[in-house]
Chains A and B, each alone.
Chain A
Amino acid sequence: MASETIALDAVAGGRKLIGERLHDWVVTVDHKKLGILYILYALFFLVVGGIEATIIRIQLIVPRNHFVSPQTFNRLFTMHGTTMIFFVAMPLVFGFGTYLIPLMIGTRDMAFPRLNALSFWLTAFGGLLLYFSFIGGNGLYGAGNAPDVGWFAYAPLTERAFSLGHSTDFWSLGLLVSGIGSIGTAVNFITTILCMRCPGMTLGKMPLLAWLNLVVGGMVILAVSPLTAAQVMLSIDRYLGGHFFDAQAGGSAVLWMHFFWIFGHPEVYILVVPAFAFASEIIPVFSRKPIFGYPVMVAATVCIGFISFSVWAHHMFTVGMSSYGNTLFTITTMIIAVPTGIKIFNWIGTMWGGKILLKAPMLFCIGFLFQFLIAGLTGIMLGASPFDWQLGNSYFVVAHFHYVIVGGILFTIFGAFYYWFPKMSGRMYNETLAKWHFWLFLIGFHLTFDFMHIPGLLGMPRRIYTYEPGRGWEIWNLIVTIGVFFQAAGTLVFVGNLLWSMFKGQAAGNDPWDAWTLEWSTPSPPPDYNFATIPTVESRRPLWDIKHPEDPDWKYE
């Protein structure tokens, strides 16, 4: 397949028709094209989910607002959460992983290229299935369109009696389909990393991005499968008259919570570990020092992978578990902060005494370091069960997890965009616009999510479509909504910068950052076959060895 494409390119020579190019992209099994498809698809849904968030915030800007109806508000926050987690964050980290892993470990493609394509299209159609609910969710019942059960869809709201029409089915099937895609991608990551490394690249010499994605692969396999199983059960309930989550027949709504969060909490780490991976590649290059504590970094990641499966019920302290359950999950939640803290020290250790270049990727990573630290601290606060009884389901929780996902994950993803954009497109982005993006987004982020903690502390519950004046929440909600417009402006600058640089940017050359991992040894963008000859490596920084033959790394490792 791939070889035929190369031959055709050589024959055709000049520019191809749009139809032919489109056909190339649809039938492709090339990991680079699939990676870019994942990323473009996620960017599209990032804008969609962002618009939903903006509408939510406009509704909450003043008390007793009537911008949208309560029903629409419920649909908006459900779609916003589901979209951002499953169809923005997951495809983004998978997209970068799919694009970068084969290049970084010096091979020509993933282990199963066709499975790779299948996984992408399953994820893509899962997203379309979810959004089709706007048209098809109504069914014959006149029961409203998009799902309105919240992103974790607690039972018994999802049962037939409370959710007429097909909206919940679209939600369930969309996640089922994209979940199977995710499992396929994870199988591919693991097999590729374990079986296809180039000669000389032992596990201990593998770039951290590959290591961390290996852990992510294992976590996806063990965490997404329970979600898949739970969605099958929900469908059995809704279509075959089963009683899994039907309290009227003795079923248990709490069981759904357990099944959802045994997926849901590892999911947070599935998203944040790739973010760690981006930071672990970007920070050393822009500090001009090798990563501090490579083996500890790997060990901490593996630790996080294991412990993340034992913390899920800290989402359920307010449900009323036994005191043993509360204590156990409080302790495990405290423990998982330890390896995460180790990582933060390692990144600071890498920057310490380094020659720091404040380019856009590095700016975003520094933002990530501070914000992720604060997100972790509020996480520890919420992980203490008595504190959680007070603030569970308040805006404090919303502020906390947006701090993780936006302040932690999205910031490093923006950093990764700027860092690898020259490799993917062959052109440099505009540094001034990138800095505008950073500062606008940073100000917007802090306006929104710093001040969102306060109405939570003052008792404002999440998911309410409006609130009464006179509770001291007005000024905070106003500030939070103003921040959203800064973030939206920053995102517009970002998208504009990417589009402009795609066509008008300066040529980047192979290695614009003077970096050390194998992807920078290929032309930008890399050819279909990646490497004309498969490279051989001797250390963790193969390009350093080539550039500095008098003082190679392998002497010291």
Chain B
Amino acid sequence: MISLIAAESAIFTIFVVAYIFYIGKSLSGPMPKDVLEIPVFSTICLLSSSLTIHLAVRALKNAKVTIFGVWWFATLALGAIFLVGTGREWQRLIYEKGLTVGTNLFGTTYYSLVGLHAFHVTVGLIAITLAMIFTLSGQVKAEHGERAEVFSLYWHFVDAVWVVVFTVVYVIGR
């Protein structure tokens, strides 16, 4: 999993480099400072889901399957809220501000970078949902703690990437 995270980091690095390289190089509007709003609520949700998944894994290692289920579900819900937040932001940008992938360089890099991250969140959510189904059908036991922990590495990575994306897109890029 650490190898995979290294590979993923390299992919994200390339997209981040492209984003930073193209900041302020768009030939036509809309510009980031005109249209972007800082997604405070969904950021808080995503970052706190790191905490909930950590608590879930710890509960599972201590064989407390019910508590694990509660925290796991909280992670699922927080991740889903984040994804909905991104979706609403995109809807606003596309329909109200008229920003698409093809509009300008900002649009191209913005949707690629945020979209790549949202894709990783989606993959994570699918995995969490599967594990949730197994939990509800009673198949998850304490010996699966290690697998849950390995997966939680991926989820922490997705959160950490969001910190980078957030800084680049909403702080530096604006």
Query: Nearest 8 CB-CB pairs, A to B?
Result: A241-B102, A225-B10, A229-B14, A242-B108, A187-B3, A240-B101, A229-B11, A221-B7
Q: B12-48: contact bitstring with A at CB < 8 Å (1 yes, 0 no)?
A: 1111001001100111000000000000000000000
Given contacts A183-B7, A190-B3, A191-B3, contact A250 B105 (CB under 8 A): yes
Does A228 contact B3, Cβ atoms closer than 8 Å?
Answer: no
A residues 67-105 near B (Cβ < 8 Å) are none
Contact residue among A222, A230, A241, A249 (Cβ-Cβ distance under 8 Å from B6): A222
Known A221-B6, A240-B102, A242-B112; 11 more pairs at CB < 8 Å: A191-B3, A217-B3, A222-B10, A226-B11, A233-B18, A240-B101, A241-B102, A243-B102, A252-B21, A252-B22, A259-B14
Does A251 contact B102, Cβ atoms closer than 8 Å?
Answer: no
Does A236 contact B101, Cβ atoms closer than 8 Å?
Answer: yes
Bound-complex Cα distance A222 to B8 (A): 9
Does A244 contact B102, Cβ atoms closer than 8 Å?
Answer: no
Bound-complex Cα distance A244 to B11 (A): 15
Bound-complex Cα distance A175 to B26 (A): 29
Q: List 12 interface pairs A-B (beta carbons < 8 Å), by A numbering.
A: A183-B7, A221-B3, A222-B7, A229-B12, A232-B116, A240-B102, A241-B100, A241-B102, A242-B107, A242-B108, A244-B108, A251-B105
Does A250 contact B25, Cβ atoms closer than 8 Å?
Answer: yes
B residues 66-116 near A (Cβ < 8 Å) are 100-102, 104-105, 107-109, 112, 116
Bound-complex Cα distance A229 to B9 (A): 11
A335 to chain B, nearest CB (A): 22
CB of B171 within 8 Å of the partner chain = no
* B16 nearest CB neighbor, chain A only: A229
Interface size on A, residues (CB 8 A): 32
Q: A223-263: contact bitstring with B at CB < 8 Å (1 yes, 0 no)?
A: 11110111011001100111110000111100100010010
A378 to chain B, nearest CB (A): 30
B129 to chain A, nearest CB (A): 22
B101 to chain A, nearest CB (A): 4
Contact residue among B7, B14, B15, B102 (Cβ-Cβ distance under 8 Å from A187): B7
Contact residue among B10, B11, B21, B27 (Cβ-Cβ distance under 8 Å from A249): B27
CB of B4 within 8 Å of the partner chain = yes
Most buried by A among B3, B11, B26: B3
Bound-complex Cα distance A251 to B25 (A): 8
A158 to chain B, nearest CB (A): 15
Does B18 contact A242, Cβ atoms closer than 8 Å?
Answer: no
Q: Which residues of B contact A255 (CB under 8 A)?
A: 18, 21
Bound-complex Cα distance A253 to B109 (A): 15
Q: Which residues of B contact A259 (CB under 8 A)?
A: 14, 18
A residues 172-211 near B (Cβ < 8 Å) are 183, 186-187, 190-191
B6 to chain A, nearest CB (A): 5
Given contacts A183-B7, A186-B3, A222-B6, contact A230 B14 (CB under 8 A): yes
B residues 106-136 near A (Cβ < 8 Å) are 107-109, 112, 116
Given contacts A187-B3, A222-B6, A255-B18, contact A249 B112 (CB under 8 A): no
Bound-complex Cα distance A183 to B9 (A): 13
Bound-complex Cα distance A221 to B3 (A): 7
* A230 nearest CB neighbor, chain B only: B14
* B26 nearest CB neighbor, chain A only: A250
Bound-complex Cα distance A183 to B3 (A): 9
Does A243 contact B104, Cβ atoms closer than 8 Å?
Answer: yes
Bound-complex Cα distance A88 to B47 (A): 44
A266 to chain B, nearest CB (A): 11
Q: Which residues of A contact B101 (CB under 8 A)?
A: 236, 240-242
Q: Which residues of B contact A224 (CB under 8 A)?
A: 7
Does B3 contact A249, Cβ atoms closer than 8 Å?
Answer: no
Q: Which residues of B contact A225 (CB under 8 A)?
A: 7-8, 10-11, 14
Contact residue among A187, A230, A242 (Cβ-Cβ distance under 8 Å from B4): A187
Bound-complex Cα distance A240 to B107 (A): 11
Bound-complex Cα distance A224 to B4 (A): 12
Given contacts A242-B112, A243-B104, A244-B108, contact A250 B14 (CB under 8 A): no
Given contacts A191-B3, A252-B21, contact A228 B27 (CB under 8 A): no
A181 to chain B, nearest CB (A): 12
